[in-house]
Structure 1
Amino acid sequence: MDLDQYIRFLMALVFVVALIMVVAWVMRRVGMADGTVRGRARQRRLSVVEALPIDAKRRLILVRRDDREHLILLSANGDLLVDSTPAGGFDSALAGAEAAPADAPRPAGSDPR
């Protein structure tokens, strides 16, 4: 092969790679990177509020869905729902606990502490 053919091959390769990068950038800007088109007017119902790695195999994830927050433990052995509370954090949970009467009946077998 001539030097001219090598240069053509290299230029075609650079052109194809640049074209792939431009298409990927446009798809990311439009919102099609994850395979779906983002609706601008649609309100997102699900979000990850916080993630905390515990060790190499376990992680705590705080997920908000609509008006509730769910604390989920992800591990190699399986996933576990640790807690599920109304969204609003500690203050709203504390207010809900204060509103509940202290002498409310407890389920059988629960610890009174």
Structure 2
Amino acid sequence: MDLDQYFRFVMALLFVVALILAGGWLLRRAGMAGGAVRGRSRQRRLSVVEALPIDARRRLLLVRRDDREHLILLGANGDLLIDSAPAGGFDGALARTADPADAGSGPR
């Protein structure tokens, strides 16, 4: 191969990379890439708070949706909702249900 063939190869490679980048940019501008909500006025309703790998096939996810948090077990055989609580956290929900101030004031 001589220098002319190398030059054409590099130019063709740069052209293909530029086409890929331009296509990705156009898809992003059209709102078809990533699943992100367009517009700055809308707040995100869904977020992954924490992810914990258990082993090679399973993982625990803590997902926040609106005002609730969901603990989800993701696995190779399927997904399982373990628990759901208000967004204050599972500790906050546990403290609200076992509040000692409310224990003596309830109906008997």
TM-score (norm 2): 0.68
* Separation (CA, whole Å) in 1 of partners of 2:27 and 2:49: 23
Cα distance, 1:32 vs. partner? 4.6
Q: Which amino acid aligns with 1:96?
A: T
Structure 1: runs of 5+ lacking an equivalent: 105-113
* Structure 1 residues 33-61: Cα deviation after superposition (integer angstroms, max 9, x where no partner): 32666222111111111110111111111
Q: Which amino acid aligns with 2:95?
A: L
- Provide the residue aligned with 1:33 in structure 2: 33
* Separation (CA, whole Å) in 2 of partners of 1:88 and 1:57: 29
1:1-20 equivalences under 5 Å are 4=4, 6=5, 7-20=7-20
- Provide the residue aligned with 1:91 in structure 2: 92
Check the 8 A contact 2:85/2:93 in 1, yes or no: no
TM-score (norm 1): 0.65
Identity of paired residues, percent? Answer: 68
Check the 8 A contact 1:32/1:38 in 2, yes or no: no
* Separation (CA, whole Å) in 2 of partners of 1:16 and 1:92: 54
- Provide the residue aligned with 2:75 in structure 1: 75
* Separation (CA, whole Å) in 2 of partners of 1:67 and 1:37: 18
What is the count of residue pairs matched by the alignment? 101
* Structure 1 residues 2-47: Cα deviation after superposition (integer angstroms, max 9, x where no partner): 864x3345423323323423543x3587565326662221111111
Across the aligned residues of Structure 1 and Structure 2, the Cα RMSD in angstroms comes to 3.2
- Provide the residue aligned with 1:111 in structure 2: none
SS at match of 1:94: helix
